[in-house]
Structure 1
Amino acid sequence: MVLKLGDRSWELEYQNVEFILTPIYKLLTSIIKYTMTLFYAPDIAVSPELPEEESAHAVRVLRLNEEDELFITDGKGTICKAVVSRAHPKHCEVRILETHEQPPLWQAYLHIAVSPAKSIDRMEWFVEKAVEIGTDAVTFLQCRFSERKDIKISRMEKVAVSAMKQSLKARLPKLSGMTDFRTFIAQPFDGRKFIAHCGEGERKLLKHAYQPNQPALILIGPEGDFSPEEVAFALQNGYEPVSLGNSRLRTETAALAACHTIQLLNQ
């Protein structure tokens, strides 16, 4: 028997065929499974058509044709198995075959509120990785020592959508633009509230302060940290002071470390 892979071939004895083909079959099925392309169409439940950008990717980049299979999410937990019914590069129409609700991939609600770094690339990196790891909401805070006064939330949403599709998730986190620190702190939250700061005073490690299965809201300050007045205001409003460890972390690293800590504890 001759086994061919690409432009190479091997002569195999019959008794070795099963031994050789079994791991190859497993490898190929794994590749197929984990390279599934997921498309984002927030209105797929009422309009069986991909948005223009997704249509272009499906038809022009992936060269999908009529009756080709694809998977679509609305970003709210639903995943649809569908086939292309009209392969148009601006208005790719689909026919839904199956609809499934993706179960929650983590046990408790998580909200990260972070003062953005001066470099927008670093914040895009944080959003991408936070979506991959898992978070329900991200808010950008305007603090006393913030290095940015605004942020283009539409760009962040594109990064989040891309990360959601890449990690095969069906839920898109809620992203909120620049919000005044005191305004945000005064808002109610039904869960544990933490502020990770570098100032004086007793602080537990986040991994010791947090208990699994509890909704969590975590504040991450700018490179210059929260001001003493901001820390005091947060504590007065029920926030618990926590530490992320002994290392000195950049803003986006601290935010991602907090996100990862909560998700690990909830596994």
Structure 2
Amino acid sequence: MQLFFHPELDNNTDQFNFPTDESRHISKVLRKNSGDIVQITNGKGIWFEAEILFPDHKKCSAKIISRTQVPPKPYQLHMVVAPTKLNDRFEWFLEKATEIGVHQITPIICDHSERKVIKMDRMEKVIQSAMKQSLQSYLPQLNPAISFKEYMALPKSGELFIAHCEVDNRKELSHSAAAKQNTTILIGPEGDFSSDEIKAALNNGFQAVALGNTRLRTETAAIVACTAIALVNL
């Protein structure tokens, strides 16, 4: 099954045109014809079935023939992750986290961060592609990059965890997280969070957790954390 993305569709949509990139894919790559049926999501939980009216490579038109509201998951996962030095590693995290199941992602700039410039447009495309590939109806929210200090000043709710490498009384995330809870997890840069950042997080209600017995790269740690929360909620 091929899933398409159109953020402007809603329950009132009857006929519409696909964006240029989706139109090109439908007509040039998949070679869809008039009368063919395609599946679409608006990224907000509605799954549409539509009939192709005119498969133009610049402005493919279609009409909605059915729509289904997909219920949201009983929990929300917010990953707050320091961007990696290499862009492709962070993009790999975005792709896999979307496939596993994440609801919100915030790139966070820390004391030890080596990368502080974020290409938001490219990251949005990676997330959209992963959502379609994994046949999901909800597009994860990608927030603008923010400094650790600025993030700590924001209001927070639900279960709060910080994964770091300092030796202390950390518990395993898989033993600390509860099912059907909104959860936020902080993952630091390659050089880990600074001692001051760890103290600030603990003072703001975060629980220190471990992600196993080995030292993980930032993107690997973030995926392990996403997986742990997904397994808790099976």
TM-score (ref. length: structure 1): 0.85
Bigger drift between 200-209 and 127-136 goes to 200-209
Q: Report the secondary structure of 1:194's partner residue.
A: strand
Equivalents in 2 of 1:177, 1:118: separation in Å?
A: 17
Q: Deviations over 1:67-108 (max 9, x none)?
A: 11101110110110011111111111111000101122x321
Instruction: Identify the match of residue 203 of structure 2 among 211, 236, 245.
Output: 236
Verify: 1:110 aligned to 2:111, yes or no. no
Q: Deviation at 1:213? A: 1.1
Distance in structure 2 (CA, Å) of the matches to 1:158 and 1:152: 10
From 39, 64, 78, the counterpart of 2:4:
39
Bigger relative contact order (CA 8 A; separation at least 6): 2
SS of 2:144's partner is: strand
User: 1 or 2, which has the higher helix percentage?
Assistant: 1
- 1:74 and 2:42 aligned: yes
Contact 1:41 1:49 in 2 (8 A): no
Structure 1 segment 88-167 matched on structure 2, within 5 A: 88-104=56-72, 106-167=73-134
Q: Which has the larger radius of gyration?
A: 1
Q: Distance in 2 between matches of 1:147 and 1:175?
A: 20
**Which amino acid counterpart does residue 135 of structure 1 have in structure 2?**
V
Give the match for residue 260 of structure 1: 227
Give the SS at the match of 1:48.
strand
Is 2:226 the counterpart of 1:249? no
One-letter code aligned to 1:114: V
Q: How many residues align?
A: 231
Instruction: State how far apart, in whole Å, the 1-side matches of 2:207 and 2:40 are.
Output: 40
Contact 2:165 2:215 in 1 (8 A): no
Q: Which moved more, 1:245-254 or 1:47-56?
A: 47-56
Aligned to 2:144: 177
Aligned position for 1:83: 51
CA RMSD across the alignment: 1.0
CA distance in 2: counterparts of 1:92 and 1:239, whole angstroms: 48
CA apart distance, 1:200: 3.1
Does structure 1 conserve the Cα–Cα contact (< 8 Å) formed by 2:187 and 2:221?
yes
Return the alpha-carbon distance in structure 1 between the equivalents of residues 99 and 71 of structure 2.
Answer: 16
For structure 1, the 5+ residue unaligned runs are 1-35
Identify unmatched segments of 5+ residues in structure 2.
Answer: none
Once the two structures are overlaid, the 10-residue window that deviates more, 200-209 or 158-167, is: 200-209
